[in-house]
């Protein structure tokens, strides 16, 4: 198997592993009488602890030549923490397990970005990132399909076994990648030995703009799916995790198509460059969140769920492709691509962490209707910032 295929299949199998239980966490914990606010607190606390190490890990990824070993360590850590949580579903132990999962997950994003860029280079980065995302969503859809079937017959415990098996397969494909195939200078964006100061790279106005917009995106998006699954549990629709698996399956199938569509839209000759298509795509990703929140607030049936998850696939599919491309193009020649990417992801991670507490608190004390409307308003605010920020960047001739 060639390196490019190995990269794609690695993304396929690690997709189910990197977030641990992900949206199944709420369903699993509600079986043990955890309230929405307690679940939100666990998610927020774990994410905030991991975010402390986000940028330092990105800097470390830029400097280290042992990227494969770091990815392997993270995969094993996530599988072990998730499995242990099944046997000890208590508040403190669950909190510690989710902190471990979050720490590993926050390291995987820049590590994957680095090895992909280091192997294919700037010229092939756009196509490979799109393929990686398509395979990643296909892997999530595949594992969600398995989870849907086995959760119906064996309960939510089957999901833990599936996560472990996917982790083992991910390690096999990781072993097919050799360190000698990774150009570590290209992986961090260093060109001809030139490297700008780290402070200047992280303080770049374009990086900060992306960070704020991604913060709004994840603050709005992160807790919409868990709320959907928890509302289904509250209404008596599902307690096995099968409903959560079905919602994921719909979204991931949509993301596959969106990733491939982005590959066609962004494909250029030679080195990738900025164009208005990036602006439009990010705008679409934010706008669909507004629509998604409104639909979820007003419709509780199956039809509403399908529409909500298709929209989820559109937004997440777009952001998953264009975000690493934007950072790589902005920071090309800096020597700090993965540190900048980690910085942007840290903004997004803070938004995702706060989304759990914001959505969970409003859902428990004011109802799911107002929780969805609040999350939709956050997306509208992010869209406004993106539109205004783009004009500022254009006026400053920042390359858009």
Does the structure show a pLDDT above 70 at 395? Answer: no
Give the count of beta carbons closer than 10 Å to the beta carbon of residue 298: 11
Task: Provide mean pLDDT across the span 371-391.
Answer: 89
Max intra-chain CA distance, the chain: 61
What does the pLDDT read at residue 398?
46
What does the pLDDT read at residue 40?
74
Contact 300, 235 (CB under 8 A): yes
Report the percentage of the chain scoring pLDDT > 70.
86
pLDDT tens-digit series, residues 56-76: 999 999 888 889 899 999 999
Can you tell me whether residue 351 is helix, strand or coil? helix
Does the structure show a pLDDT above 80 at 182? Answer: yes
What does the pLDDT read at residue 400?
40
Give the count of beta carbons closer than 10 Å to the beta carbon of residue 335: 22
CB hemisphere CA count around 319 (13 angstroms): 27
pLDDT band for position 88 (cuts 50, 70, 90):
confident
Does the structure show a pLDDT above 80 at 311? Answer: yes
pTM value? 0.81
Does the structure show a pLDDT above 90 at 235? Answer: no
Q: Which residue has the tokens 């509208």?
A: 380
> Mean pLDDT in the chain?
82
Can you tell me whether residue 350 is helix, strand or coil? helix
Does the structure show a pLDDT above 90 at 285? Answer: yes
Q: Using CB atoms within 10 A of its CB, is residue 121 exposed (0-12), middle (13-18) or buried (19+)?
A: middle
pLDDT tens-digit series, residues 22-37: 667 776 777 766 777 7
Of residues 291, 325, 275, the one with CA closest to residue 132? 325
CA distance 311 to 227: 15
Highest mean pLDDT: which range of 206-210, 249-253, 275-279? 206-210
Phi then psi dihedrals of residue 48, to 5 deg: -65, -35
Contact 139, 14 (CB under 8 A): yes
Does the structure show a pLDDT above 70 at 243? Answer: no
CA distance 119 to 42: 37
Of residues 110, 115, 121, 125, the one with CA closest to residue 53? 110
Can you tell me whether residue 194 is helix, strand or coil? strand
Chain mean position to CA 25: 16
pLDDT tens-digit series, residues 95-136: 888 888 888 888 898 998 899 999 988 888 888 999 999 998
CA distance 72 to 53: 18
What does the pLDDT read at residue 399?
43
Does the structure show a pLDDT above 70 at 170? Answer: yes
**Alpha helices per DSSP H over 267-331:** 276-298, 302-330
Contacts 24+ apart (CB under 8 A), 304-308: 305/228, 305/247, 305/250, 306/250, 308/224, 308/228, 308/247
Task: Provide mean pLDDT across the span 255-281.
Answer: 75
- One DSSP character per residue, 58-125 reads HHHHHH-S-HHHHHHHHHHHHHHHHHHHHH---HHHHHHHHHHHHHHHHHHHHHHHHHHHHHHHHHHH
What does the pLDDT read at residue 70?
92
Can you tell me whether residue 191 is helix, strand or coil? strand
The residue count of the chain comes to: 400
pLDDT tens-digit series, residues 348-365: 988 887 887 788 788 878
């Amino acid at each position: 198997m060639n390196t490019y295929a190995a990269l794609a299949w690695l993304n396929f199998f690690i997709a189910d592993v990197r977030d641990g239980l992900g949206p199944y966490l709420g369903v699993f914990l509600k079986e043990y009488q955890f309230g929405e606010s307690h679940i939100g607190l666990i998610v927020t606390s774990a994410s905030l602890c991991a975010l402390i190490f986000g940028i330092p890990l990105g800097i470390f990824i830029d400097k280290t030549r042992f990227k494969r070993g770091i990815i392997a360590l993270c995969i094993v850590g996530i599988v072990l923490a998730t499995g242990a949580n099944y046997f000890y579903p208590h508040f403190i132990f669950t909190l510690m397990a989710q902190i471990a999962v979050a720490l590993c997950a926050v390291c995987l994003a820049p590590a994957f970005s680095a090895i992909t860029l280091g192997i294919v280079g700037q010229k092939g980065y756009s196509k490979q990132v799109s393929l990686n995302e398509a395979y990643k969503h296909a892997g999530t859809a595949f594992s969600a399909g398995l989870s849907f079937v086995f959760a119906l017959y064996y309960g939510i415990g089957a999901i833990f076994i599936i996560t472990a098996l996917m982790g083992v397969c991910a390690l096999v494909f990781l072993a097919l990648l050799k360190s000698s195939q990774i150009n570590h200078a290209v992986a961090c964006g260093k060109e001809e030995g030139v490297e700008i100061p780290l402070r200047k790279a992280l303080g770049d106005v374009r990086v900060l703009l992306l960070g704020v917009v991604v913060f709004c995106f994840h603050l709005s998006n992160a807790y919409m799916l868990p709320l959907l699954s928890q509302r289904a549990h509250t209404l008596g629709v599902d307690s096995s995790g099968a409903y959560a698996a079905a919602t994921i399956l719909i979204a991931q199938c949509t993301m596959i198509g969106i990733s491939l569509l982005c590959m066609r839209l962004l494909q250029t000759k030679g080195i990738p460059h900025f164009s208005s298509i990036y602006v439009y795509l990010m705008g679409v990703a934010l706008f669909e969140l507004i629509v998604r929140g409104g639909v979820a607030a007003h419709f509780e049936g199956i039809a509403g769920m399908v529409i909500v998850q298709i929209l989820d696939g559109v937004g997440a599919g777009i952001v998953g492709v264009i975000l690493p491309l934007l950072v790589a193009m902005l920071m090309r020649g800096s020597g700090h691509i993965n540190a900048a990417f980690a910085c942007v992801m840290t903004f997004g991670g803070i938004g995702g962490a706060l989304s759990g507490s914001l959505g969970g608190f409003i859902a428990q004390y004011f109802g799911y209707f107002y929780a969805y409307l609040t999350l939709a308003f956050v997306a509208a605010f992010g869209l406004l910032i993106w539109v205004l920020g783009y004009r500022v960047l254009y006026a400053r001739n920042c390359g858009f």
